[in-house]
């Protein structure tokens, strides 16, 4: 059964029309029809209010279970920032680079990078990530990293930044005695084709983010954590790295 068919069946069971759903969700009836025909995929942002009107849990919706009508807590809301925080936290807790996670979930590494930079995963990617981390869909959907873990990573990452900054300064002072801390994916060259120097390796894009190199992605996350940290910090998404 598709999600569209499930939405339609639940709506009919509850005696609701497409107009009823449209008014509750602030959509047009035509938009609801497109969801039921699977012409448009349900987004994570829409999932929470949709489950509320259909009186079903997140788990039952994704598993397409037509069980008892669930009591929905109106105070619980989806928070994309908290979800992204959770996804970065879970990846790092499993000591995985973005590329390693991509292999295990069949989600492209570039998409994982975009997700950790603020893009919402689609529902299929969300399902794949929850299944890999072996947690329920509802738990991941409302996951909130504890303040204790945030402080732990903040302390760890501040130490990592200090070490990398020191190495960069030493590399410059030593006239190239030390090799660059980071190497980009262009074979060690910058966008103009010139060799990357230690002073150029900290920031490699116009928005001020660090891109993961293939060498970096194959290493343990404990040695590469500054990448995700600085990307998110530039966008003020996480309190991890403030």
What's the pLDDT score for residue 207?
A: 37
Which tokens in the block code for residue 65? 């279970």
What's the Cα-to-Cα distance from 190 to each of 18, 185, 194, 199, 227, rounded to whole Å?
A: 54, 9, 5, 12, 18
- Please report the domains of the chain, with CATH numbers, ordered by start residue: 3-63 (1.10.260.40), 80-141 (1.10.260.40), 147-234 (no CATH)
In this prediction, residue 218 has a pLDDT band, given cuts at 50, 70 and 90, of very low
pTM: 0.65
Helical segments of the chain, H only: 3-13, 18-25, 29-36, 44-54, 58-63, 80-93, 98-105, 109-116, 123-133, 137-141, 147-173, 214-217, 226-234
The contacts of residue 242 (CB under 8 Å, 6+ apart) are 154, 233, 236
Give the span between the Cα atoms of 38 and 3, in whole angstroms.
7
**Residue whose structure tokens are 């292999």:** 103
pLDDT band at 180 (very low <50, low <70, confident <90, very high): very low
Q: What is the pLDDT of residues 70-118, one digit of tens each?
A: 566 666 788 898 999 899 999 989 999 999 999 999 999 999 999 999 9
| pLDDT top residue among 179 and 203 | 179
């Amino acid at each position: 059964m598709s999600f569209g068919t499930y939405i339609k069946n639940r709506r009919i069971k509850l005696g609701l029309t497409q107009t009823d759903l449209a008014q509750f969700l602030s959509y047009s009836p035509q938009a609801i029809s497109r969801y039921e025909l699977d012409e448009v995929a349900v987004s994570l942002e829409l999932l929470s209010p949709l489950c509320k009107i259909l009186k079903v849990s997140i788990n039952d919706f994704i598993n397409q279970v037509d069980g008892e009508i669930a009591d929905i807590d109106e105070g619980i809301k989806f928070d994309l920032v908290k979800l992204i925080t959770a996804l970065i936290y879970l990846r790092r807790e499993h000591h995985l680079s973005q590329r390693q996670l991509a292999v295990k979930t069949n989600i492209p590494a570039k998409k994982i990078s975009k997700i950790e930079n603020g893009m919402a995963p689609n529902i299929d990617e969300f399902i794949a990530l929850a299944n890999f981390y072996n947690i329920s869909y509802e738990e991941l959907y409302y996951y909130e990293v504890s303040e204790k873990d945030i402080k732990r990573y903040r302390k760890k990452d501040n130490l990592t930044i200090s070490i990398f900054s020191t190495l960069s300064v030493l590399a410059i002072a030593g006239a190239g005695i030390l090799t660059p801390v980071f190497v980009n994916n262009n074979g060690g060259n910058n966008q103009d084709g010139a060799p990357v120097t230690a002073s150029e390796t900290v920031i490699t894009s116009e928005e001020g983010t660090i891109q993961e190199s293939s060498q970096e992605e194959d290493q343990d996350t404990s040695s590469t954590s500054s990448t995700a940290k600085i990307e998110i910090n530039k966008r003020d998404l996480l309190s991890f790295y403030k």
